[in-house]
Structure 1
């Protein structure tokens, strides 16, 4: 009989310590499958934990307070290519999923999952699969079908939501935040939230940078 592999070594990253304690307790029921070797509540500590423990997998939220788990995923997969990253989050948004896959994530799982399902997914990741929460799988297939049919919105391939794309189009057209809010019938605070999101996804820090990316990519004609 072949010798079973050692437990998969995990670093857990979430900005809520209560979540980390809950994951510890849940995963503690599966000592033959997983071993938690590190914890972090922010990106800096997460990178330190990965450097110190060389885990097989990092289980990380999409949002880490004011930091981005997607940016952390990109850093880990670039600096530590032997370490896999799985996003464990409450955001059941296929656009976050697309962005996660673009930065090298090996999985995207929703936090409502139970312990056995989580371990099963982690075992599949260890074997080289990319796992997607079943609750998102159907929507991803539909999105892919719409994309191939040319029915998707501009910027979807960059991870933009439909509303972020609408905001960006209005910025390109020269509208102020107030003008965008009026066009979309939303508050200026909502517009600012969408703008921050599209800046992060496009990797820019200001309006001119976002417009430059939109023009370079030919998003709006």
Structure 2
């Protein structure tokens, strides 16, 4: 018996990208079929609930929304659906965060159609697929992390400065005090805080502190 085509939902905040993916994957109709497209997280969740795709292919960023947050929601609410991030961000910090929220793949948009279909088939078979362009850097990052050469929270996608800010928040410092300790402006501190909130999937200081404590980032 032939294998039925994989059922896909495509999610990107740019209609042009969705049309391009549709045209690209249309040449592989025996292997993949697009059951729906969405430009927002809410629309994507509705499609997943109604159409039960095998795989959701989405970007890391969806305008003002986060593809990582969407991935977390899908994998939590629909554990049988796999999520693959298809993005231009060749950043291992985003990759680590994607894997943390349950993504089954992280692929760069420069992939060609046949490679993408092959990656999707592997994901459907239960593999976790990382774009070859990132694989070597990920291995190096993992080795450094095991050797203790990375800062606390690097595996969560935090930059070194964001880690420093988070450690001071955990210690009870105000934004003003953090700025004084790091010799930067309060606006800069607020920017770092917004970044670490997004990467940790929280919206307030107490949530960030809770994640830091749960992960044992600072001892």
TM > 0.5:
yes
Unaligned runs of 5+ in 1: none
- 1: distance between equivalents of 2:218 and 2:188? 22
Report whether the alignment pairs 1:136 with 2:127. Answer: no
> Partner residue of 1:151?
149
Residues 1:128 and 1:110: Cα distance change in structure 2 (over 3 Å): same
> Partner residue of 2:59?
61
The alignment partner of 2:120 has SS state of helix
The answer on whether the counterparts of 2:9 and 2:37 sit within 8 Å (CA) in structure 1 is yes
- 1: distance between equivalents of 2:194 and 2:43? 24
Q: Map 1:74-153; keep pairs closer than 5 Å.
A: 74-153=72-151
Partner residue of 1:205 out of 179, 203, 206 = 203
Report whether the alignment pairs 1:7 with 2:8. Answer: no
TM superposition shift of 1:93? 1.1
Q: CA RMSD in A?
A: 2.2
Unaligned runs of 5+ in 2: none
> Partner residue of 1:19?
17
Alignment: residue pair count? 219
- 1: distance between equivalents of 2:100 and 2:206? 24
Give the TM-score normalised by the residue count of structure 1: 0.88
Give the TM-score normalised by the residue count of structure 2: 0.88
Q: Which runs of 4+ in 1 moved over 6 A?
A: none
